Amino acid sequence: MLQILNESLIELHINGEIRKALARPSDTLLFFLRERLGLTGAKPGCENGDCGACTVLVDGWPVKSCLMLAAEAIGHEVTTIEGLDKVPIQQAFVDKFAFQCGYCTPGFIMNCQGLINIHPDASDEVIHEWLQSNICRCTSYQEIMEAIRSVLPSQ
């Protein structure tokens, strides 16, 4: 049985690498990524699961890292925005002007990347359903929609 009783060195698979750092059992994955590993791409917003700015992929599925313990990620594959290497959705956000201030952008891109991988045949209804998990204060929703449409094979 895996057990972590206090602040300990834990090992996570992040962006294709094994990363080790100290973590309290009560540290969220978001805190661990940013404060222990310096991976600041996942943004703290509401830290309550509402805004989606902290979205990362866990085993390919988008997850709000503020609502996951770092300890829970042991044995799973975590991908952050730093782990994407010029994938089409990143260029599409540039081409479609799908951001203004950019704070929500990593979270949106990770959610979009999850959708592209899992449902490359997504309909507009499915895209809407997935994108409702993230909030853009600058209201770039239409441009974000165009960006993801431009890279989905089904569109």
Binding residues vs another protein (CB under 8 A)? 1-6, 24-28, 31, 47-49, 52, 55, 61-64, 66-69, 71-72, 74, 111, 129-130, 132-134
* Shortest distance, position 101 Cβ to another protein, whole Å: 21
- Quick one: which of 65, 23, 33 has its CA closest to 48? 65
Q: 72 vs 138, which CB is nearer to another protein? A: 72
Q: 27 vs 143, which CB is nearer to another protein? A: 27
Q: 43 vs 64, which CB is nearer to another protein? A: 64
Distance CA 105, CA 71 (A): 26
| Per-residue CA distances from 2 to 52, 58, 72, 74 (Å) | 29, 19, 10, 9
* Shortest distance, position 8 Cβ to another protein, whole Å: 10
**Sheet hosting strand 55-58, strand order edge to edge:** 17-23, 8-14, 77-79, 55-58, 61-64
* Shortest distance, position 97 Cβ to another protein, whole Å: 24
Q: 35 vs 95, which CB is nearer to another protein? A: 35
Q: Contact, 98 vs 147, CB < 8 A? A: yes
* Shortest distance, position 127 Cβ to another protein, whole Å: 11
Q: Contact, 111 vs 62, CB < 8 A? A: yes
The region, left, alpha or beta by phi > 0 then psi within -120 to 50, assigned to residue 7 is: beta
Q: 66 vs 151, which CB is nearer to another protein? A: 66
* Shortest distance, position 129 Cβ to another protein, whole Å: 5
